[in-house]
Structure 1
Amino acid sequence: MAPAVRFSPGARSLFDEPLGIAVQGLRPRQPVTLRASVQDEAGERFEASARYEAEESGELDLGRSPALPGGSFCGLEPMGLLWALQPQKPFWCMVKRDVQTPLRLLLEVFEGHGPPPGRLLAQGHHEWVFMQDGLQRVPVREGRIRGTLFLPPGDGPFPGIIDLYGVGGGLPEYRACLLANHGFAVLALAYYGYEDLPQNMQEFQLEYFEEAVDFMLKHRQVKGPGIGLLGISKGGDLCISIASFLKGITATALINGSVANVGGMLRYKDITIPPLGFDLKRLKVNKDGIADIFNLLNNPLEGPSSQSFIPLEKAECTFLFIVGQDDRNWKSEFFAVEGSKRLQAHGKEKPQIILYPRTGHYIEPPFFPMCAASLHKLVGKPVAWGGDPKAHFEAQADAWQHIQAFFHKHLSGTPPGASNKL
């Protein structure tokens, strides 16, 4: 039998489903090198490779066979070829811009352990899709709102969530889309750097987000009486502000967010919260030109900076803080702890805080490879995001389950574990 690649659950799956990899038809104990590669929509390539030895049966199952030293990783790592994927272009992160098209994984099997690569023995292709069959993608252009609503199959109503990203701006849809596959109505909401929205972050008007909350609460396929918020980085502190000042928020999940307003002035009616100050003298740049901005921001507990602390004690919702303890963007663990202290000091429920060691800033849905460093739009140069690739990868998978369970519990949605098959 000629060597052949086998994927489990098949040649096509949702992006956030675990993927099994095996090779059949090898000689007993045959040494081979496996190389995985993915090309993103910009044409940039991500690669990882590992050395293996086939079993006596001639099969190689990454769930049973440890990788040998000399590749991108070693040891028993069933999904190592995914978490070890690295961009071939420096300071590049994998982003999915069009959720209606798949990403394609190429797996190649080479003879021997190289380098250079030996003879190509087999190759297989796997399609990662982002939208399950029946999921609706609905562009939203109502009033000032600019976003995309994802609706699960059926009439609903479904628990509703607004999803916000960070300083990159634009309208990232992939997390909202993947979350909607699990039974939620999710609005990916742009708030700057998109179409006719402001092109910078000088000022944030909560009235804009209030329109989006009202849109979700009035939608016939969104289940009330309240909705959830999910935000990462700058999107996290915006979620806290929305929950603190606006009605209709039941649950708020933050991924490495700040409890202080960051980046621009926040306004709502006659309320103004200034942005947290920073000191460029605290910025460090290493010999590779990568900036460390961990200590850049001022302490929101000290002096005038305390005016930037968002009054999250006003919120009438439950909070979940997802924290990467190796976040180099800012002090996410400190922010989560101080937010918890403030809530409890005002008699509010203690929030759930989930800490992930050796995990960096961009905790994405599984199974995006870790982004170690990339260009920061505000800093103007590459910055380190932190994280160990394997630990970060595992944290993303675990956090994704916690986020779903949190929203299912507090938004009275469909039971966790509802079918999300294609």
Structure 2
Amino acid sequence: MLGRTAFGLWRARYGPWRRPGKSCGRGKRGAATLSVTPQPSLADEPVCIRAAGLSPHQKVTLRALVLTENEQMFDSSAQFRADDRGLLDVGRSPSLGGDYLGVVPMGLLWTLSPASMETPYQKLRPCTNLTGRPLRVDLSLHSGHTQAGMIPGQILAKQAVDRWYSKPGVRWIRLREGRVRGSLFLPPGDGPFPGVIDLFGDEGGLTEFRACLLASRGFAALALPYFGFEDLPMTLVDFHLEYFEEAAEYLWKHPKVKGPGIGVIGSSKGADLALSMITFIPKVTASVCISGCNANTLTDLYYKDVYLPCVTHNLDEIIRLDSGVLDLSGTLSDPNENQKSIIPLEKAEGHILFVVGEDDKILNSKLFAEEAIKRLNTHGKNNYKLLSYPGTGHHIEPPCSPYCFAVIDRFLGHPVLSGGEPIKHCYAQEDSWRKIQEFLHLHL
């Protein structure tokens, strides 16, 4: 149910609420309808959005709205014209205005952003109960082309879309095993399944949605926090790779996980941790490095007799844009000036997939991936693959994740520029998600 305040905002903006899927108005040919298939769907799965019962060439606006469990609103819109039969297929009809232009079948979901009354630069995240509750998107079809800041036209039809992060039968286990904390997601069935550890960046805490989607796609996935959760350190302190080795050992020994090795997927800071794991931990045989660095970043890393100092950000190099958004693209120190910080990837026996956006404004991840590949080639290694995407920023996530121009940084307290162009970035997410799964299946 919509909260009282949120419901009032909805009513003021969209008009009286009617049950999803019901017609709310008529074109000249009869009642307008709005349909979405498949319904329900997994959050990383494309959907087809169609309207019927419109007048020939009628101008309409499609709007999407999400109300999170914290009662934050995210919305998007696109303007269309029905065909000569009064039909509209978002997968074939170009958007003529709104939050994107052209034929983009998933454009309404990809361009969801905080509504005008909300704090900007927030990321849309699913509810905490991933296996028991979907992300609900409410679609509404309005007459006319609604311009930004104007009250939408008459509602012609509505439809609710349930986007699940968990397919039926996925099992969720909250993990407290030795020092290891996190959430283990197991696919339905007896298995065994390929095992993957999932790491995010320096935002801290436990992020589960990617691991849950991986389980829905056949992986035993461990969402592994490393600070800012339960009894783990609350801030970034020196890392000891033994914690990550203990997690790898737990997953490798799990009766539902098949060998001979496990994989790890990491984003941002999690990416250089993923590279360190495949370099030093033998049980890790496949590593996906998304928007990362070829050196150890942010805090020093220890493992047995190994010590990797960190490269850090020089905050004096931050550029403040006119919008107030911070550009960090020139702040990270050059790893080549601190050779001991560079991860000795030539020691890795497994396979590595680098995924980078060519317009990454937080890390120059394409350059760092090329430096890593150069080092591997120098040592006669070819155990890598590079996915490099033009027009793509830093936060490359599963295709259920809308584009974020900037995100409020946990430490700086200000929005930080992510880079990329909305539609190019989201197509890169769609393509890389498929290829990441193929890579992990191949090497696990």
Q: Smaller-chain TM-score range?
A: over 0.9
Measure how far apart 1:16 and its partner are.
0.4
Q: What's the counterpart of residue 94 of structure 2?
A: 66
Q: What's the counterpart of residue 138 of structure 2?
A: 106
Q: Write the mapping of 1:2-81 to structure 2, written as runs, cut at 5 A.
A: 2-10=31-39, 12-68=40-96, 70-81=97-108
Structure 2: distance between partners of 1:53 and 1:333? 40
Q: What amino acid is the match of 1:212?
A: A
Which residue of 219, 226, 229 corresponds with 2:264?
229
Kept in 2, the 8 Å contact 1:97–1:173? The answer is no
Report the number of matched residues: 407
Measure how far apart 1:75 and its partner are.
2.1
Write out the 4+ residue segments of structure 1 that deviate beyond 6 Å after TM superposition. Answer: none
- 1:156-191 deviation digits (Å, cap 9, x = unpaired): 110111000001111101001101111111111111
Deviates more, 1:236-245 or 1:276-285: 276-285
Q: What's the counterpart of residue 420 of structure 2?
A: 387
Q: Secondary structure at the match of 2:190?
A: coil
Which residue of 354, 363, 366 corresponds with 1:333?
366
Given the superposition, is the C-alpha separation of residues 116 and 375 from structure 1 closer, same or farther in structure 2, using an over 3 Å criterion? closer
Q: What's the counterpart of residue 239 of structure 1?
A: 274
Q: Secondary structure at the match of 2:433?
A: helix
Q: What's the counterpart of residue 129 of structure 1?
A: 164
Q: Does 1:313 align with 2:346?
A: yes
Structure 1: distance between partners of 2:315 and 2:414? 13
Structure 1: distance between partners of 2:295 and 2:71? 37
Measure how far apart 1:97 and its partner are.
4.4
Identity of aligned residues (%): 47
Given the superposition, is the C-alpha separation of residues 211 and 350 from structure 1 closer, same or farther in structure 2, using an over 3 Å criterion? closer
Kept in 1, the 8 Å contact 2:127–2:135? The answer is no
Q: Secondary structure at the match of 1:337?
A: helix
Structure 2: distance between partners of 1:193 and 1:93? 18
- 1:32-55 deviation digits (Å, cap 9, x = unpaired): 111111122322222111221212
Q: Secondary structure at the match of 2:140?
A: strand
Q: What amino acid is the match of 2:438?
A: A
Structure 2: distance between partners of 1:221 and 1:116? 53
Q: What amino acid is the match of 1:237?
A: D
Kept in 2, the 8 Å contact 1:340–1:350? The answer is no
Measure how far apart 1:197 and its partner are.
0.3
Measure how far apart 1:113 and its partner are.
1.7
Structure 2: distance between partners of 1:202 and 1:276? 14
Which residue of 80, 85, 95 corresponds with 2:125?
95
Kept in 1, the 8 Å contact 2:354–2:385? The answer is yes
Which residue of 116, 139, 145 corresponds with 2:180?
145
Q: What's the counterpart of residue 23 of structure 2?
A: none
Q: Does 1:82 align with 2:109?
A: yes
- 1:60-82 deviation digits (Å, cap 9, x = unpaired): 111222222x3222222222212
Structure 1: distance between partners of 2:153 and 2:312? 56
Measure how far apart 1:146 and its partner are.
0.3
Structure 1: distance between partners of 2:127 and 2:141? 30
Q: Write the mapping of 1:174-253 to structure 2, written as runs, cut at 5 A.
A: 174-253=209-288
Normalising by the residue count of structure 1, what TM-score does the alignment of the two structures yield?
0.94
Q: What's the counterpart of residue 323 of structure 1?
A: 356
Q: What amino acid is the match of 2:125?
A: V
Given the superposition, is the C-alpha separation of residues 134 and 286 from structure 1 closer, same or farther in structure 2, using an over 3 Å criterion? same
Which residue of 354, 357, 360 corresponds with 2:387?
354
Normalising by the residue count of structure 2, what TM-score does the alignment of the two structures yield?
0.89
Structure 1: distance between partners of 2:389 and 2:228? 31
Q: What's the counterpart of residue 399 of structure 1?
A: 432
Measure how far apart 1:58 and its partner are.
1.8
Q: Secondary structure at the match of 1:301?
A: helix
Q: Secondary structure at the match of 2:340?
A: helix
Kept in 1, the 8 Å contact 2:298–2:313? The answer is no
Structure 2: distance between partners of 1:223 and 1:27? 57
Q: Secondary structure at the match of 1:146?
A: strand
Measure how far apart 1:350 and its partner are.
4.6
Unaligned ranges ≥5, structure 2: 1-29
- 1:230-282 deviation digits (Å, cap 9, x = unpaired): 00000000111111111211110111111111111111122221111332221
Structure 2: distance between partners of 1:243 and 1:79? 35
Structure 2: distance between partners of 1:270 and 1:359? 38
